[in-house]
Structure 1
């Protein structure tokens, strides 16, 4: 899917699994949609469901889920710890890839119109989809909750954005919006006292709190953290209180900052933070940012594989205190990415597969593998330099080189898969029918398109060698002398990567009819290879000097 929207509806049922499954089934069976997560909470009596898909697919799945909730959930019988206003309480659209916030606002407005017209449920719009400033904040719309909704609807200021101001006793109202990625995050405390948890929430949330002075005057004290909404509650299921947080923009206030500020406030009240939990999913960058922060606090290099960074974040934030935090189930990118059969093979299986009579994986994948090994070695040398006595002046620079090398390693690994898939696309085009003139025309177009794509993949591999070259220079010059031979091996491996990628560009060019494309691609490939051939030997001479 080139265009991906995420939807994270919250339903007011967290105990009856048959109801939750019926709602999830509607989403699961919608075309062009992938259900990622179903997270029920018994004490909150609320379920957060996460799914992604094409814009139209996600909009359709959201409607079907709202419709099923309106059939199975009766708000007149609902009790739970979480604020709510309706059966399908809140339905946000989140841009993930290839879509804008404006696209998500349009989806929200279209869905709201359909919900009223077909289900007769009043709809409010919030966040970026809001029709007036006071409705941007979800808590303003939900104030008074379901129980206060009949009176709220009588107030002209709270007329629904879509629908008549008529109370729907069974379904309440639904709030639909468009927003940036929201992280639902709860911090665990060593107390059962909800009031203490809420006191911390009031201090950290952006909205802040009111305080009465000795004179009787009330003043407003701003909260410590931007883009943070919070309340305190007690969860009987867990046996402790939590500061329950909606982090509305982790790029403004990072996850680790929320955790540490709650820790500070807890200590002031004689409490201790014992751990935390992510409700639903989290973007990979948010948890990587936390992991890097804690590695830095520990004086450790951040130039390590992302798996280690994530593991550090899980340990430091105590994300497995309530239940094991499984990255493959909680990080959104891991859930929506395609399978990677080649890069997940062990060495023997990859070598065995390579040695067989199948054309994939082939030389293009091996060239990308060589690039990943080169970047890995450079990261290794940087890690063997960072924190070592005698190299203090270059710690910061060498760590940056290692982090960049890790990023390049991961890009090369993906190119192993992309190269094999590109060849498979060419083969698929070759197998298209060619009996009629129209079929022949379509087949030729598909072959041309697929062959161009198969040429650009090794060109990408070749382009990355220039970035690795730039990383290698400070590593060769300043890296730990005891590991400088490893930097030399990285250079020779990089040269082989470039030579192999260049050959894979050349072999595809004769099958392409577009002469302008062929000329431009060959010229670019030759210029890159010429630079790599020139600079690698120069760097190798410096390696030998430092070895001697």
Structure 2
């Protein structure tokens, strides 16, 4: 797939598995769409569904899901802890690969128009799909929630962008839907050792970007301060791009901080967690763990793992699996239930394992494939594998040195070299299968038809293109393997290991390990 988008609809039903099953079935019925997560909450009476695929297919699946939800969910009977105003409450599209935010926003508006016209559901476009600046914020679009929807639809300033501006029997049942194009949003809940919603809200207001209402005298009981337009003034919170509230979850018997991190390049998961720990401690509370709702990008988990290892003065030049494990334990992501990276990290969910048959094979299988009659894998793939092994050995020495008793003062230097070695290792591993794909592309080009002059020309062009790439890949293997030697170069000349005079590579000698 050259272009991939994600869709994360939130449906106002979390207690009827059969309803959710029917909605997700229509999503899965669309070719090329992959359902990657279904997260139902009983207390919130809300289910977050995540699916990905090419833009046209995802938009079709989203439309079918909205139609099915409107048929199955009656908003007149809905009760839940989470703000909502429709059966399909929100419907965001997220660019994942090969597509810009502007293109995604255009798709969102087209989808919103189709929902409004064909399903006769009021639709508000927010964030990057917003048609008016005042509608960028979801909270503004959803203000009043379902109970205030009748009044909202009659307000000339809040007519829907698409669909009917009336609260008839059909709309009373379906409610309204908010459609957007946005950056990757992480829904993240932090668990507290209290049942107090008041304390949870106090911490959430400390942290969220919007902050809390300013009051006279700077006290919590003072009169709210307002601007000239009569609107409340806010004291900004600590974290940019974070929205949040506190609530009590009867299912777990605890209060939680419920956050939407709208831009994890500005505020990370681990920064949010650490800030919550600090603000909880001020109030005599303790954070006991946290919970990711839906899926999360791999990079966010790797960054968290590196952060907590560095905090421990440990090297982060370790495997992705090890980084994820330390992130899960440090954030307490497994407190309320198992955290399965294969089901919670988006890259793992959409990964095509067949695209990397060599590095996913056993060592013996790789050797046997190399020795077989097939011309691939060949020297390029084997060289890339050996290059990755060499870089890994350099990282191993750096990791051992970083945690060596007596060398604590230089742990950071060793850790930096270990992480650099891991970078070379990852790049070379990717080239193991890439070299084989490049060679197979040449074979495919030679098999193209050559009956007409045009076919002959197309075949020559394809052969030239494939041959050039088949040269570029092993050249890249050579370059990376050579560059990776800079990780080995400092040992032992450029690193002082006082008070121990032995070089780092001495750790690998018999009896020293």
TM-score for both structures, normalised by structure 1: 0.84
CA contact (8 A) 1:472 1:487 kept: no
After superposition, the Cα gap between the structure-2 partners of 1:226 and 1:243, relative to the gap in structure 1 and judged at 3 Å, is: same
CA distance in structure 2 between the partners assigned to 1:390 and 1:192 by the alignment = 46
Structure 1 residue 399 corresponds to structure 2 residue 429: no
- Given candidates 215, 236, 240, the residue that maps to 1:222 is 236
CA distance in structure 2 between the partners assigned to 1:345 and 1:476 by the alignment = 35
After superposition, the Cα gap between the structure-2 partners of 1:247 and 1:353, relative to the gap in structure 1 and judged at 3 Å, is: same
Q: Which residue of structure 2 lines up, in the alignment, with residue 119 of structure 1?
A: 119
CA distance in structure 2 between the partners assigned to 1:183 and 1:476 by the alignment = 44
Q: Which residue of structure 2 lines up, in the alignment, with residue 377 of structure 1?
A: 393
Q: Which residue of structure 2 lines up, in the alignment, with residue 103 of structure 1?
A: 103
CA distance in structure 1 between the partners assigned to 2:42 and 2:443 by the alignment = 52
Per-residue CA deviations over 1:359-407 (Å, capped at 9, x if unaligned) read 2222111010011011111211222332546756754343222212101
SS of aligned partner of 2:151: helix
CA contact (8 A) 2:129 2:181 kept: yes
Query: What does 1:426-437 correspond to in 2, within 5 Å?
Result: 426-434=442-450
CA positional deviation for 1:436: 5.6
CA positional deviation for 1:30: 1.7
Q: Which residue of structure 1 lines up, in the alignment, with residue 505 of structure 2?
A: 484
CA distance in structure 1 between the partners assigned to 2:431 and 2:124 by the alignment = 45
- Given candidates 466, 470, 483, the residue that maps to 1:454 is 470
Q: Which residue of structure 2 lines up, in the alignment, with residue 236 of structure 1?
A: 250
CA distance in structure 2 between the partners assigned to 1:2 and 1:404 by the alignment = 30
Query: What does 1:94-243 correspond to in 2, within 5 Å?
Result: 94-167=94-167, 168-213=171-216, 216-219=222-225, 220-243=234-257
CA distance in structure 1 between the partners assigned to 2:473 and 2:2 by the alignment = 18
CA distance in structure 2 between the partners assigned to 1:184 and 1:244 by the alignment = 8
After superposition, the Cα gap between the structure-2 partners of 1:441 and 1:301, relative to the gap in structure 1 and judged at 3 Å, is: same
CA positional deviation for 1:435: 5.3
CA distance in structure 2 between the partners assigned to 1:474 and 1:119 by the alignment = 67
Q: Which residue of structure 2 lines up, in the alignment, with residue 39 of structure 1?
A: 39
Q: Which residue of structure 1 lines up, in the alignment, with residue 56 of structure 2?
A: 56
- Given candidates 360, 364, 373, the residue that maps to 1:344 is 360
SS of aligned partner of 2:493: helix
After superposition, the Cα gap between the structure-2 partners of 1:448 and 1:10, relative to the gap in structure 1 and judged at 3 Å, is: same
Per-residue CA deviations over 1:129-168 (Å, capped at 9, x if unaligned) read 2222321111111111111110111111211122342221
Structure 1 residue 251 corresponds to structure 2 residue 265: yes
After superposition, the Cα gap between the structure-2 partners of 1:39 and 1:383, relative to the gap in structure 1 and judged at 3 Å, is: same
Q: Which residue of structure 2 lines up, in the alignment, with residue 279 of structure 1?
A: 293
Q: Which residue of structure 2 lines up, in the alignment, with residue 16 of structure 1?
A: 16
TM-score for both structures, normalised by structure 2: 0.89
Query: What does 1:312-327 correspond to in 2, within 5 Å?
Result: 312-327=326-341
CA distance in structure 2 between the partners assigned to 1:364 and 1:190 by the alignment = 55
CA positional deviation for 1:418: 1.4
CA distance in structure 2 between the partners assigned to 1:145 and 1:16 by the alignment = 22
Q: Which residue of structure 2 lines up, in the alignment, with residue 297 of structure 1?
A: 311
CA distance in structure 2 between the partners assigned to 1:144 and 1:169 by the alignment = 14
Q: Which residue of structure 2 lines up, in the alignment, with residue 359 of structure 1?
A: 375
Structure 1 residue 386 corresponds to structure 2 residue 402: yes
CA contact (8 A) 1:382 1:475 kept: no
SS of aligned partner of 1:463: helix
SS of aligned partner of 2:469: helix
Q: Which residue of structure 2 lines up, in the alignment, with residue 368 of structure 1?
A: 384
CA contact (8 A) 1:378 1:486 kept: no
CA contact (8 A) 2:314 2:415 kept: no
CA distance in structure 1 between the partners assigned to 2:137 and 2:183 by the alignment = 13
CA positional deviation for 1:207: 1.0
- Higher helix share goes to which structure? 1
Q: Where does the alignment leave 5 or more consecutive residues of structure 1 unmatched?
A: 489-548
Per-residue CA deviations over 1:255-275 (Å, capped at 9, x if unaligned) read 111111111222223222111
SS of aligned partner of 2:124: strand
CA positional deviation for 1:320: 0.7
CA contact (8 A) 2:84 2:142 kept: yes
Per-residue CA deviations over 1:418-440 (Å, capped at 9, x if unaligned) read 12222333333444455566555
- How many pairs align? 488
SS of aligned partner of 1:278: strand
